[in-house]
Copies of this chain bind each other. A is one copy, B any other.
Amino acid sequence: MVVVMDLQAAGEQVQTVVARLEGLGFKAHLIHGIKRIVIGAVGDRRALDLRELELMPGVERVVPIMKPYKLVSREAKEEDSLVTVGQTVIGGSELVVCAGPCAVESREQLLAAARLVKQAGARVLRGGAFKPRTSPYSFQGLEEKGLQLMAEAAAETGLATVTEVVDAYSLEVAVQYVDILQVGARNMQNFRLLQMAGRAGKPVLLKRGLSATIEEWLMAAEYIVSEGNEKVILCERGIRTFENATRNTLDLSAVPLVKNLSHLPVIVDPSHATGDRRLVAPMARAAVAAGADGLIVEVHPDPARALCDGQQSLNPAQFAAMMQELRAVAAAVGRAA
């Protein structure tokens, strides 16, 4: 950590900062610049709130050198982490596609969806039973009944399953029925939920928050891993920007960047990112080309009758065509699919 002193910082202010740093277990190195003094502080800042130092008299700002996350970093573990769910390995050489409806609506709908995504090559079935909705007047999900249907669809098709959890109750129910717990974008900094997900022991699919920096996203993963659960799958799903021609802005650069910073697998959700059926397949192809370990895509047997997010759902034919294209792109970047 580097502490930059004010232009006018008095000598005793510098000494007070040095003393404080040493009291906190850091070793301090003074650098006398042309106009100001800079203090290099050697030690582990993770337990420290930098702002504490920043408001000492004479301090202009504090520049961290180490990353704030530890367990999820590449520095902590060089080789890629693999998350295994049944026979499916996420993060390995094979591209893994999760697909299914936004919300579980009925037995017919879900089984139809499961069969069709299975046939087209998906490995994991997605389906929401506890829906976080912007409006209190919108459909909120089938809850436990929906999860029972997920389990039935899994039993029939052999697909693994993923569903979103939103609080203690939904998590408690979900662990009984599904293979992967999803923490949604709006809950990425719901730290209680992250801790519970960490303790649940099941793999966690952690979506990036709408306005979360990559560092905050990795810190959210650190919450889960620090509870002893290393099975975290990161999911880029678009961030909020000024551009509103798409629902969100898919930040695809995050894929290679996060794979540089962390050992965790990274997948991409082109459906929520774009909110536009026409853009799902091109962005899915782009995600694979950028190095994503997998995708999570909304597919509905009859999108025009979907109870949520129909506009961004693919119909069966569109999904099958996309899977075909993905195989070619995956092969081009040296990946099985």
Residues of A at the B interface (CB closer than 8 Å) are 2, 4, 7, 29, 31-36, 38, 40, 42-44, 46-47, 49, 51-52, 54-57, 63, 65-66, 68, 75, 132-139, 166-168, 186-187, 189-193, 195, 210-211, 213-216, 219, 222-223, 226, 239-246, 249-257, 260, 273-274, 276-279, 282-283, 285-291, 303-313, 325, 328-329, 331-333
Q: Is the CB of B251 within 8 A of A249?
A: yes
The verdict on A256 contacting B279 (CB below 8 Å), with A2-B38, A55-B304, A289-B285 known, is yes
CB-defined A-B contacts under 8 Å, sample of 18: A4-B65, A29-B40, A32-B42, A38-B65, A49-B138, A52-B306, A54-B310, A55-B277, A68-B135, A134-B219, A214-B245, A239-B241, A243-B251, A244-B244, A253-B273, A256-B279, A256-B283, A285-B289
How far in angstroms is the closest Cβ of chain B from A31?
4
How far in angstroms is the closest Cβ of chain B from A148?
21
Chain B, Cβ-Cβ closest to A32: B42
Which among B57, B274, B311 is the interface contact of A253 at CB below 8 angstroms?
B274
* Bound form: Cα–Cα A313–B52 in Å: 11
Stoichiometry, as copies per complex, reads: 4
The verdict on A240 contacting B211 (CB below 8 Å), with A40-B40, A134-B216, A290-B285 known, is yes
Q: Is the CB of A137 within 8 A of B46?
A: yes
Chain B, Cβ-Cβ closest to A63: B63
Chain B, Cβ-Cβ closest to A51: B311
Q: Which residues of B contact A303 (CB under 8 A)?
A: 55
Q: Is the CB of B288 within 8 A of A213?
A: no
Which among B4, B49, B54, B167 is the interface contact of A167 at CB below 8 angstroms?
B167
Which among B4, B32, B36, B332 is the interface contact of A329 at CB below 8 angstroms?
B332
* Bound form: Cα–Cα A252–B40 in Å: 34
Q: Give the one of A34, A253, A276 with max B CB within 10 A.
A: A253
How far in angstroms is the closest Cβ of chain B from A141?
11
